[in-house]
Structure 1
Amino acid sequence: MPSSRSLLTRGSSLSAPVRGALYMTAASFLFAVMNGAIRLLGDGWGNALDGGTGESMHPFQIAFFRNLFALAFMLPWLMHHGRVALYTQRLHMHFWRAGVGLIAMLTWFSAIAYLPLAEAVALNFTAPLFATAGAALVLGEVVRARRWTATIVGFVGMLIILRPGFTEFTPVMTLPVIAACFMACSVLIVKSLSRTEQPAAVVLYMNLLLTPLSLVPALFVWRWPTLTELALGIFIGFCAALAHNAFTRAFKLADASAILPLDYARLPFVAILGFVLFAEVPDVWTWVGAAVIAGAAIYIAQREARIARVRPTLQVSAEAPKNRP
């Protein structure tokens, strides 16, 4: 039987792409578990377990607990970076990012509370599609015909899930799409911030600002949580901190186009949780639409990675001194 030391040696000998893939799979699983815990709070499970009336907790209050406890779990990391991480040249942009991120979070938590988990996650896969369109229209990035075609195909996948005109359409079904749109806006702001800001500063200000900002809407729907609800809130914050850490490590270790497909493992993970916890069974159109959206997003990521690899080569060749005949 192998010793613990030999197992650690084997783990450390894994290549960076493999470790990146493992981190991304872990992040997908943790995000799925977090979504399941959010749904349990939204369904009043924690309140009923403590002998209450089964009253649900409002998604806005759940969002505050998620931010509060995630920040608490991230404090050691934030303290490690110290005052250097507080330096910023564009504080106003950090506020914009936090505001946009808050809207994305509130609409997403509401979607999880009111929609079947798998359907909400599948529709939320459209975030990279909105980011591609926004990068072209807002940041002026060059997006050529292939990526535009993939983006359009991805939105067709969204229509496959929603099936307007063929199934009953309710306004709540737009919540994960609205959340995806604001998530894409947050990505665009991060792209802009990354030109002048350190990554630690971007992470720090997002977490520091989101907690007090999310308290404001939470106060309008506030009720004191039971002990089980509080424990679930702590668990949600813990999962969020771990998931974001694993997500960040995955992108540091491997190329985005290589590990992005594993991010879509969230759907089978959350489908299993939805079935076990809430007896939800996704219909075939949810799976088909999610596959179309994921395929389009993966293609876009691969094209962007290919262009990013070619661009430095072109720049170096353009700047190199030319040999005179």
Structure 2
Amino acid sequence: MRAAHHPLLPFGAALLGVGFLSLMDAFMKEAALMIGAYSATVLRAGIGTALIAPVWLSRGPAMPTLAVWKLHLVRGVVSAFMALTFFYSITLLPLAEAIALSFIAPLVALYLARVLLGETISRHAIGASLLGFAGTLVIVGGRIGQGQFDEKAALGVASLFVSALLYAYNFIVIRRQAQVAGPLEIATFHSAIGGLVLLTLAPLLWQAPVREAFVPLTIAAVLTVCGSLSIAWAYARAEANVLVPTEYSGFVWAAIFGWLFFREGVSLPTLAGTALIVTGCWLAARAAPERSPAQA
């Protein structure tokens, strides 16, 4: 058996990919605290495009058809505001707490898939979503009980819920997009369109970046590419239902990086709420029909 086919390699690559993206969140939080979430998000998109576009173009690709262009545009618009609201939320909330709350996105996606794709929602999926909702209440309730749910925290949670809703819709678009375009093309248009869409708000939100911000921004862009490629490599070699649990390692990574970068602790309500949300996501994943990597 060749090493490339070892069953643990895809799992390890997916785990590493989630780690890369969690570390990217930490560097983006650092940059966003320096120059604002908007400027940091726009600059990351620009740097990411500069990194990935030459790789895609070097392969001599054919230009997308009109139908594929529409999918790229929809995903670019959705992802732009998904990223902006998420990066804004992590300037107001601890990293681990934000990641924990963002785990509700797959549960929201169940209902969007029902509305947009006509998929059936099973009893297991409904129970899973209730667990996820309960976990959210535990995390937010923990903040209220500790007297930490001030205006900033409320704004951070609201922003994160908007991001999670957009991320859930993103799942639906990705399913369609992955069937008609390759990973490099998707990554190129995802960064480029997202950055261009956000630039329309520059007259209102742009904050001139300080030189020091370009270090975490560049590292964040590189980590985004590394994380995306690691996860794509893993999903090309193992079934989605095997790799889904690696997504939840993001909470562990976020807790580690949140403490290392910002000395953020993790409260008991956050741990308990995360356990409920992850259990709900796990039940939903088990209840869902198996999908090929291209559809994940």
Q: TM-score range by the shorter chain?
A: 0.7 to 0.9
Q: 2:270: which partner in 1? A: 286
How far apart in 2 are the matches of 1:14 and 1:268?
27
Measured after TM superposition, the shift of residue 19 of structure 1 is 1.4
Measured after TM superposition, the shift of residue 87 of structure 1 is 3.3
Write the letter of the residue equivalent to 2:41. Answer: A
Equivalent of 1:119, from 88, 97, 100?
97
Equivalent of 1:62, from 19, 32, 40?
40
2:80 and 2:195 in contact (8 A); partners too: no
Return closer, same or farther for 1:221/1:121 CA change in 2, 3 Å cut-off: same
Q: How does 1:144-155 map to 2 (within 5 A)?
A: 144-155=122-133
Measured after TM superposition, the shift of residue 15 of structure 1 is 3.5
Measured after TM superposition, the shift of residue 14 of structure 1 is 5.2
Equivalent of 2:166, from 150, 167, 182?
182
Measured after TM superposition, the shift of residue 253 of structure 1 is 1.4
1:257 and 1:298 in contact (8 A); partners too: no
Residue range with higher mean Cα deviation, 223-232 or 137-146: 223-232
Residue by residue over 1:108-129, the C-alpha shift from the partner in whole angstroms, topping out at 9 and shown as x without a partner, is 0101111111111110111111
DSSP-derived class of the 1:22 partner: helix
Q: 1:38: which partner in 2? A: 28
Q: How does 1:196-207 map to 2 (within 5 A)?
A: 197-200=180-183, 201-207=185-191
DSSP-derived class of the 2:206 partner: coil
Task: Calculate the aligned-residue CA RMSD, in Å.
Answer: 2.2
How far apart in 1 are the matches of 2:7 and 2:284?
20
Q: 1:104: which partner in 2? A: 82
Write the letter of the residue equivalent to 2:159. Answer: L
Write the letter of the residue equivalent to 2:31. Answer: L
Write the letter of the residue equivalent to 1:199. Answer: G
Q: 1:237: which partner in 2? A: 221
Q: 1:320: which partner in 2? A: none
Measured after TM superposition, the shift of residue 237 of structure 1 is 0.8
Return closer, same or farther for 1:270/1:241 CA change in 2, 3 Å cut-off: same
Write the letter of the residue equivalent to 2:32. Answer: G
Q: 2:141: which partner in 1? A: 163
Measured after TM superposition, the shift of residue 215 of structure 1 is 2.2
Write the letter of the residue equivalent to 1:187. Answer: F
Measured after TM superposition, the shift of residue 259 of structure 1 is 1.3
Residue range with higher mean Cα deviation, 89-98 or 218-227: 218-227
Residue by residue over 1:193-248, the C-alpha shift from the partner in whole angstroms, topping out at 9 and shown as x without a partner, is 445x2234444432331121222334533343233211221111111111111121
2:104 and 2:164 in contact (8 A); partners too: yes
Larger radius of gyration: 1
Write the letter of the residue equivalent to 1:39. Answer: K
Measured after TM superposition, the shift of residue 305 of structure 1 is 4.2
Residue by residue over 1:169-212, the C-alpha shift from the partner in whole angstroms, topping out at 9 and shown as x without a partner, is 623222222111101111112223445x2234444432331121
The answer to whether the aligner puts 1:133 opposite 2:116 as a matched pair is: no
Structure of higher RCO (CA pairs closer than 8 Å, 6+ residues apart) = 2
Return closer, same or farther for 1:219/1:30 CA change in 2, 3 Å cut-off: farther
How far apart in 1 are the matches of 2:271 and 2:102?
13
How far apart in 2 are the matches of 1:207 and 1:213?
10
How far apart in 2 are the matches of 1:199 and 1:268?
30
Write the letter of the residue equivalent to 2:15. Answer: T
Write the letter of the residue equivalent to 2:16. Answer: A
Q: How does 1:86-101 map to 2 (within 5 A)?
A: 86-101=64-79
Return closer, same or farther for 1:202/1:223 CA change in 2, 3 Å cut-off: closer
How far apart in 2 are the matches of 1:194 and 1:279?
39
Q: How does 1:296-315 map to 2 (within 5 A)?
A: 296-306=280-290, 308=291
Measured after TM superposition, the shift of residue 272 of structure 1 is 1.4
1:108 and 1:176 in contact (8 A); partners too: yes
TM-score normalized with structure 1 length = 0.80
1:16 and 1:254 in contact (8 A); partners too: no
Write the letter of the residue equivalent to 1:205. Answer: F
How far apart in 1 are the matches of 2:4 and 2:177?
33
Q: 2:121: which partner in 1? A: 143
Equivalent of 1:27, from 17, 20, 23?
17
Residue by residue over 1:45-82, the C-alpha shift from the partner in whole angstroms, topping out at 9 and shown as x without a partner, is xxxxxxxxxxx311011001111111122124311443
DSSP-derived class of the 1:31 partner: helix
